[in-house]
Structure 1
Amino acid sequence: MGLIITIVVLVLILVLISLLYIPLDICIDTRGNRYYAELKGLVKADVEPDEREILRIRVKAPFKEFYFFPLKPKRKKPDKIDEKKRDKKGRKYWNRFTPNTIWRVVKSFEIKKWELDLDTGDCITNAKLYPLFALLNYRTGGFHINFEGRNHALLMVRNRPIGLIKSFFNL
């Protein structure tokens, strides 16, 4: 009996550790109107337009798919918490998010793909931006200026939950 419990606990620990290394992908694509965040193989959240509301979020998990509306007004319940107590709780929570912590979290993301195709609508401004974009392409790539009225941005970033935890706690 003790051996079975030990094996079950070890399997659960291995599953939890493996969950820390599953890639988290975030994609913003304005050409294809694709906006999503995905934990590979587990859950995917897509932002989609909706007819009744402005937008809805579709969450797909194994064996389950559901929608929710983040911009839908919520029914207000009467506040029984004193205003001073609520303000103190909020301050304590947000004091942890210093600019350095936010910067470490942003730096933990890896850019997988980056494209910017831009037309400002003014040919003079486009001509002035052309050398800047050429210089940026020399270093990183993915910057394009056009004179045809196309505007497109694509950003795909990846991180792992362990990277977020490390950057948040500065390990």
Structure 2
Amino acid sequence: MLIVAILIGLLLILLLGLLFTPFIVKVNTRQNQYQLRWGIARVQFIPEKDDGRLMVQLAFWKREFSLLQMLAKPSAKKAAQPQKPNVQRRKKARTLSFHRLWKILRSFRMPFFYLDLDSDDFVTNAYWYPVCRALSTPTRQLRINFGGHNQCAFELRNRAVDVLIALIF
């Protein structure tokens, strides 16, 4: 009985940890950093010249996969099965309303956003320069450059409990 109570307690702690641990999406094009973190798990995309690698890390376990090899594997062919006529009525699919989707999107937090943009047209850059200057804040930096390089960096944060609250209420 005590072992069952301990297992239920550990399962409850793990579930609460997953609900309240933030998941973080980080993108930085200047440093080629693209990663998703949630608690002790991390998935990172590492771009290379001819291929890309996907690094998966869970606590002390770490594994890298080549995206080209993963996508080039032939899929197992399934034998054609005769389709059975569906006599039962199909259940009506629940759609996500715009209001609920908006609440979910608002639950995400963006601590910083950095965009350095060049449209390769001097006139267009000149028009966009005051707009980006006016929209910039200390945590949101929008810049127009005339040097021909584009960069973007941002971080998105959310928790599973915030998404559930947005879905329920």
Shorter-chain-normalised TM-score: which range? Answer: 0.7 to 0.9
Q: Which runs of 5+ in 1 are unaligned?
A: none
SS at 1:57's partner residue? Answer: strand
Identity level (%): 27
**C-alpha spacing 1:50/1:139, structure 2 compared with 1 (3 Å):** closer
| RMSD of aligned Cα (Å) | 3.0
Report what 1:147 is aligned to: 146
SS at 2:140's partner residue? Answer: coil
Higher relative helix content: 1
Report what 2:56 is aligned to: 59
Distance in 2 of aligned mates of 1:81 and 1:49: 43
Report what 1:162 is aligned to: 161
- For the 8 Å contact 2:111–2:155, the answer to whether it is kept is yes
Q: Deviations over 1:38-86 (max 9, x none)?
A: 013x11011123577x53422111232233646445333234263986x
Match of 1:166, as an amino acid?
Answer: I
Match of 1:165, as an amino acid?
Answer: L
Report what 1:28 is aligned to: 27
TM-score (norm 1): 0.77
Q: Report how many aligned residue pairs link the two structures.
A: 162
SS at 1:147's partner residue? Answer: coil
Q: CA deviation at 1:27?
A: 1.0
**C-alpha spacing 1:80/1:166, structure 2 compared with 1 (3 Å):** farther
Distance in 1 of aligned mates of 2:138 and 2:6: 51
Report what 1:129 is aligned to: 128
Q: Deviations over 1:6-26 (max 9, x none)?
A: 344233312321221111000
- For the 8 Å contact 1:55–1:71, the answer to whether it is kept is no
Distance in 2 of aligned mates of 1:98 and 1:57: 34
